[in-house]
Structure 1
Amino acid sequence: MIKLNTHYADLKESYLFYNIAQKTKAYLEENPDQHLYRMGIGDVSLPLCGAVIEALREAVEDQGKKESFHGYMPECGAPVLRQTVAEYYGKRGVTISDQEVFVSSGASDELGDILDLFCPESNALVIEPAYPAYVDANIMEGRKIIHLASSKENGFLPEPDENLKADLIYLCSPNNPTGAVFSREQLQKWVDYANQKGAIILFDAAYEAFIEEPDLPHSIFELDGARTCAIEICSLSKTAGFTGTRLGYTIIPKELERGGLNINSMWVRNRTTKTNGVSYILQKGGAAVFTPRGQQEVRANIQVYKKNAAVLMEALDQCGIWYCGGKNAPYIWMQCPKGMGSWEFFDYLLREIQVVGTPGEGFGACGEGYFRFSTFGSPEDTKEAARRLCTLLGGK
């Protein structure tokens, strides 16, 4: 009889966002006339920008003509898109080659797939609160998880602990769920630590486009020594509204080696074995994001979400509630009022004002007592949700 992967039995019974969906479904069945103000799951609400739509249409037309038809794409990505991403980094003073860029079907997919490179006996350090998939993807492979707690006291940005022997280190900046962003000095400490320990950082940069303060790093490769210890995984989902289109990219420097093996070469071998590449249509649409017009249009959309963040932050300020995030990230991480637990506060908001957020406990034990708001909703719903929050929580 075939043996199954018994590590699946070690997973929590259900996924965080599934629980939220079930609770909201039950509420609407009991209250069918109510409108919910959804600021929980981090899905975008604005459509793809015009430059992307035009490129996608052109790509579809290309596929209908013999002279411009594309079949299988290069497994590591179309050369033009790989070069375009490398140039995007270059504009920020980060030098990478197109051969260090790998086109993916999105950051979430890549964060799971990349674990193929590391043996199950290696451990993974996760800063809590954390995106649940970091933990679950490693549990599925039987990997030991090191939970490094963060807190309000350290701004949810802990420093490396010299007593911990980490092999893989997950860093997310701007962070999901807290919205906190590492400074150059803070991130440099993690780079130095990884090089000292022989660890590898998996740097999740899915929200880098939301950074507005000029001194904050957008890429880990802005830091000295990162090319010998880091892999950067990025996405167009939140940057350009590709949540339903699925496209991202991964940067693996050619200097990155461990145990006599070159990790860039390993990933080439992995991709050429396990994938047939991302479709031509999606890659052409993705390349349009990096054109001057595309950049102008996606930045305009990001500004809508940032204005949503400003509306919510003003409401929390009026209520005297502590929070972080919002300014340089599309998430706001607030402390639950009156000592409420995370799920208790979720139920309270749903029941009293029909506002849906994400309980902090779902991101790890030290998220208990905190709550995440996403700023990807419509401006109209965000303003109404903020008004209701002020009324409920005693804002001025």
Structure 2
Amino acid sequence: MPSINENFLKLEKNYLFINIAKKVNAYKEANPDADIIRMGIGDVTLPIAECVVEAMKKGADEMGVKETFRGYEDSGAGYDFLREAVSGYYKSFGVDVAADEIRINDGAKSDCGNIVDIFGDDNVVLITDPAYPVYVDTNLMNGRKVIYADSNEENGFAAMPDESVHADLIYLCSPNNPTGSAYTEQQLKTWIDYAVRNNAVIIYDAAYEAFITDEAVPRSIFAVEGSRQCAIEMCSLSKTAGFTGMRCGYTVIPKELTVTASDGTEVSVSQLWGRREGSKFNGVSYPVQCAAAAVFTREGQRQTRENIRYYQENAKIIASALDELGIKYTGGKNSPYIWLKCPENMGSWEFFDLLLEKANVVGTPGAGFGKNGEGWFRLTAFGDRERTKEAMERIKALKF
């Protein structure tokens, strides 16, 4: 009989959003006429930009013609036309990333979880708390020691490093999921300096960079001095361009980033990751990569930015309602998430039940993102405009 990886037994039995779905489904079964507004899962609702859809159709058509048919993509890192487009996108906001430092993937979640394959299980992993669950779960699955940097009300949910603590791998997300907070350039420089002193690698999730409006907040960690020696950056088109159902993103590993093997050899992290991907990943489909490349054209940027502005306006609607209620929150400005303090000292799941039962509104309990999330709650701005307005009117009617 094969043995199992018993580290899996240490995880929460169900993923956070599975627990939410079970609660909502049970309530819906008991109250079939309830008009439930879902503001929990961070899934987009607007259709993909027209020029992006047309590019995908063209790519699919090419697969049906002998002269333009594509099989395996040679490098496994993504087609050159898309990697060049991503490189150009970085340059548009002042960051120099070469095309051959970019690998195309099927979304940031996959690479955030899989990147740890190339690092030893004896590494100490530092994660800010609250955190996107994939950072924690994928490291616990391999039995790594996970330590936390506290993000809380006192520091504006922007945890900073403790110089007395050593870490080998560091997960940062800015703008943050779930809290919506975003690091300034100086705050990121502090993290970079800490990583360099510890010979650590930062795994930087920039999935929400397109929502940044504050000039003091970098859209890439590579906009900050010293980052190319210690950071890996991951980004996704899921929220930037509505690719939650199409799956495409990219990871940037600078040429300068190396680690030292046990025999003292300097090893390229990019080469390690390329070797891992060559064995375990066959790439993103050609039509999807055609669609992704269209996102970075002038027209693609115009059309996708329209959708982002729509969600940003939804965030303003949510924030305005919370201001009216006197409820404290972070996020919304540089992020599609609003992280609110549960009123009347309620717990996260207590507030979840109240909103579901009294307002028929679904959000995400902060406790599901870590101990510092207890007493806090996440709402998403990715919904329909009128439904967002209706949800906030229902919440205001509760009169906290």
TM-score normalised by length of structure 1: 0.98
Amino acid in the other structure paired with 1:173: S
Q: Is the 8 A contact 1:173 1:204 kept in 2?
A: yes
Give the distance between the partners of 1:123 and 1:77, measured in 2 at CA: 31
Aligned pairs for 1:107-146 within 5 A: 107-146=108-147
- Which residue number corresponds to residue 39 of structure 2? 39
Aligned pairs for 1:203-352 within 5 A: 203-259=204-260, 260-352=266-358
Amino acid in the other structure paired with 1:161: D
- Which residue number corresponds to residue 372 of structure 2? 366
Deviation at 1:158, TM superposition (A): 1.7
Give the distance between the partners of 1:43 and 1:79, measured in 2 at CA: 29
Aligned pairs for 1:5-84 within 5 A: 5-74=5-74, 75-84=76-85
Give the distance between the partners of 2:107 and 2:31, measured in 1 at CA: 36
Give the distance between the partners of 1:187 and 1:230, measured in 2 at CA: 11
- Which residue number corresponds to residue 171 of structure 1? 172
Amino acid in the other structure paired with 2:35: H
- Which consecutive segments of 4 or more residues in structure 1 shift more than 4 A? none
Gaps of 5+ in 1: none
Q: What is the DSSP-based 3-state SS (H/G/I as helix, E as strand, rest coil) of the residue aligned with 1:261?
A: strand
Give the distance between the partners of 1:265 and 1:131, measured in 2 at CA: 27
Identity of aligned residues (%): 51
- What do the CA deviations read for 1:274-296 (whole angstroms, capped 9, x no partner)? 22211111100100000011000
Deviation at 1:393, TM superposition (A): 2.9
Q: Is the 8 A contact 1:100 1:254 kept in 2?
A: yes
Give the distance between the partners of 1:150 and 1:104, measured in 2 at CA: 29
Deviation at 1:340, TM superposition (A): 0.3
Q: What is the DSSP-based 3-state SS (H/G/I as helix, E as strand, rest coil) of the residue aligned with 2:398?
A: helix
Q: Relative to structure 2, which stretch is displaced further, 71-80 or 349-358?
A: 71-80
Amino acid in the other structure paired with 2:150: A
Q: What is the DSSP-based 3-state SS (H/G/I as helix, E as strand, rest coil) of the residue aligned with 2:154?
A: helix
- Which residue number corresponds to residue 186 of structure 2? 185
Deviation at 1:386, TM superposition (A): 0.8
Deviation at 1:134, TM superposition (A): 0.7
Deviation at 1:215, TM superposition (A): 2.1
Amino acid in the other structure paired with 2:188: L
- Which residue number corresponds to residue 200 of structure 1? 201
Q: Is the 8 A contact 2:182 2:334 kept in 1?
A: yes
Deviation at 1:15, TM superposition (A): 0.9
- What do the CA deviations read for 1:176-207 (whole angstroms, capped 9, x no partner)? 00000000111110011101110000000000
TM-score normalised by length of structure 2: 0.97
- Which residue number corresponds to residue 387 of structure 2? 381
Amino acid in the other structure paired with 2:276: N
Gaps of 5+ in 2: 261-265
Q: What is the DSSP-based 3-state SS (H/G/I as helix, E as strand, rest coil) of the residue aligned with 1:154?
A: coil
Q: Is the 8 A contact 2:228 2:254 kept in 1?
A: yes
Give the distance between the partners of 2:377 and 2:282, measured in 1 at CA: 40
The count of corresponding residues between Structure 1 and Structure 2 is 394
- What do the CA deviations read for 1:48-102 (whole angstroms, capped 9, x no partner)? 1101100011011101100111111231110111111111111111111111000
Q: Is the 8 A contact 1:73 1:279 kept in 2?
A: no
Give the distance between the partners of 2:344 and 2:150, measured in 1 at CA: 23
Q: Is the 8 A contact 1:37 1:385 kept in 2?
A: yes
1:152 is the counterpart of 2:158? no
Give the distance between the partners of 1:109 and 1:81, measured in 2 at CA: 19
Q: Is the 8 A contact 2:181 2:331 kept in 1?
A: yes
Give the distance between the partners of 1:149 and 1:159, measured in 2 at CA: 8
Give the distance between the partners of 1:148 and 1:78, measured in 2 at CA: 38
Deviation at 1:147, TM superposition (A): 1.6
